[in-house]
Chain A
Amino acid sequence: MRQKSAVLFTVFAMLAFVLIPTTSEAGDFAVGTTLENFSLPDTAGKTHSFNDLKGKNGAVIVFLSAQCPVVKAYNERVSQIAADYAAKGITFIGINSNSTESLDWVKSHAAENYKFPMLIDKGNVFADKLGATVTPEVYYFDAKNVLKYHGAIDNDRSGKAITDNYLRTAFDASLSGKPIAKTKANAFGCSIKRIAE
């Protein structure tokens, strides 16, 4: 009888372990993780691979939106950072994962605001893979595709009172071979509009 109870308890415990929902860690792409090469089409339909687009010192993947006011507030800063670090071997790759934004809209917005390529993440598959949730949100990968920094570009969306330039600081530390002090900062912005939301 005692043996039967023990077996039943074990079965219930195993079932509970399988069935009880836990906080999902899926898509939480942690700093230190290596990104496998991937390919996505740009706004003209031409496919690009990450390894082809990245610079000699890595690349930044920045999730953007054509309509988000927070992205709008960051447009100039993003372009300036991209220009400043292109010469230092770090390139920018824009990604639009919003299911609510038409290709024409994304295309014209990108053409007006950025010199770097804008890739289309149809079905937000890539955003899910990285666990990206807002725009703007950045992922900085080094030359070996290792994630070095994830999150906000800086600590003030208005740009009027920036005290921490998270992304620039991460670049500078990495380029000088020093450890990055702050590898993650919460990005604030518009939720990525996923399919079936």
Chain B
Amino acid sequence: MRVSIFTWTKASVKGWLFVLILSVAASAQRPTAPAPKSSVSRSAAPVVVKLVDEVAFKKLIVPNGKPLLINFWATWCDPCREEFPDLVKLDNEYKGKIDFITVSLDDPEDIAVAVPKFLALMKAEMPAYLLKTADESAVISSVSKDWQGGMPFTVLFNEKGETKYFRQGKVVLETLRVELTKLTPPAIP
């Protein structure tokens, strides 16, 4: 009797093991359902923040056939965080008409968690970069003669690279919107 119980238990374990292996294999082969195109799914996508050095950064700040809006920010900067919803709003309004990038001046180690976490929270879809530099003063000079080094700093270049708007401190949404509209006239039908 003791033998038969042992045999039954062994068979039962084998059976459950078989079912488990089958179910794991089936789930692995199951095609991934396409992500629904809702705003919820977009915000759930992982935010990619690219680390750039000074050489790559110099190329980034050159317009590529469109007006270029750049926002310099950091997670530790209160006004930077406060203005971000407005920036996301503008990105949604002018998407495709301008290039809009954000450049974080956080510590490089923040690229893994703090920076993408905040951008995901803001549902920010602008290309995001984190600048690694050992010379902030030189970077500031290379961006704009009008940047005195405070954060946030936002600058708008036209397609020729001429400065059309800059602001150290929180952007004034309406003022920036006016400048963006000037640079992006509606297409003539």
What is A's interface to B at a CB cutoff of 8 Å? Answer: 69, 133-134, 137, 151-152, 155-158, 160-164, 166, 185-192, 197
Contacts and interface: CB of A to CB of B under 8 A. Distances in A.
Nearest to A131: B148
Given A69-B76, A163-B134, 6 more contacts: A134-B148, A186-B136, A186-B137, A186-B147, A187-B137, A191-B169
A164 B137 CA distance: 10
B151 interface: yes
Given A158-B107, A190-B77, A133 B150 contact: yes
B77 A157 contact: no
B143 to A, nearest CB: 10
B161 interface: no
12 contacts: A69-B76, A133-B149, A133-B150, A133-B168, A134-B151, A152-B137, A156-B134, A186-B140, A186-B147, A186-B149, A187-B148, A191-B169
Contacts of B77: 190-191
A156 B136 contact: yes
B181 interface: no
Contacts of A191: 77, 79, 150-151, 168-169
Contact of A189 (B107, B141, B147, B149): B149
Q: Which 10 A-B pairs have the closest CB atoms?
A: A191-B150, A188-B136, A161-B134, A186-B140, A134-B150, A69-B76, A185-B137, A188-B149, A133-B148, A186-B149
A155 B133 CA distance: 10
Given A69-B76, A186-B141, A191-B169, A134 B149 contact: yes
Interface in B54-93: 76-77, 79
B174 interface: no
A155 B168 CA distance: 20
